[in-house]
Amino acid sequence: VKATPHGGVEQAAEAARTVLVRTGRPYPVVLGRGVAGRAAAVLAGLEPPLGPRGWALVSDAAVAALHGPTLRAGLGGWPAPAAAVLLPQGEGGKTWEAAGAALRRLARAGLGRGGVVVCLGGGAVTDAGGFAAAVFLRGVDHVNVPTTLLGAVDAAIGGKTGVDLPEGKNLAGAFHQPRAVLVDPDLLATLPPREWRNGWAEVIKVAITSDAGLLELLERAAPTPAGALEPAALETAIERACRAKADVVAVDEREADARRVLNFGHTVGHAIEAAGDFARWRHGEAVALGIACVLELGVRTGVTPAAFAERARELLRRYGLPVSGSGFAPEDLAPFLLRDKKVQAGEPVVVLTAGPGRPILRRFSPGDPDLHAAIRSVA
Minimum CB distance to ligand NAD, residue 376 (Å): 27
Torsion of CA 228, 239, 210, 291, to 10 degrees: 30
Nearer to ligand NAD by Cβ, of 70 and 236: the residue is 70
Query: What is the phi/psi pair of residue 30, to 5°?
Result: -100, 120
* Residue list 118-157, contact with ligand NAD (CB under 6 A): 121-125, 127, 147-148, 150-151, 154-155
Q: Which residue is nearest to ligand NAD (CB)?
A: 123
Part of the chain binding ligand NAD (CB under 6 A), chosen from 136-144, 191-199, 252-260, 354-362: 191-199
Residue 160 within binding range of ligand NAD, rule CB under 6 A: yes
**HSE-up of residue 378 (Cα within 13 Å, Cβ side):** 31
- Is residue 72 at the binding interface for ligand NAD, with CB under 6 A as the rule? no
Task: Tell me how long the chain is.
Answer: 379
**Residue 223 within binding range of ligand NAD, rule CB under 6 A:** no
Give least dist CB 184 to ligand NAD, A: 10
Helix (H) or strand (E) segment spanning residue 144: strand 141-146
Residues in the interface with ligand NAD (CB under 6 A) total: 29
From the CB of 203, what's the least distance to ligand NAD, in Å? Answer: 12
The Cα-based distances of 288 to 197, 264, 267, 319, 326 in angstroms read 10, 10, 11, 10, 10
Site for ligand NAD contains 90 (CB under 6 A): yes
Which CB sits closer to ligand NAD, 137 or 175?
Answer: 175
Q: What are phi and psi of 253, to 5 degrees?
A: -65, -25
**CB within 8 A of 100, min separation 6: which ones?**
none
Q: Is 379 exposed, middle or buried (0-12, 13-18, 19+ CB in 10 A)?
A: middle
Residues of this chain that interact with ligand NAD (CB under 6 A) are 60, 62-63, 66, 89-91, 94, 121-125, 127, 147-148, 150-151, 154-155, 158, 160, 170, 187-188, 190-191, 195, 198
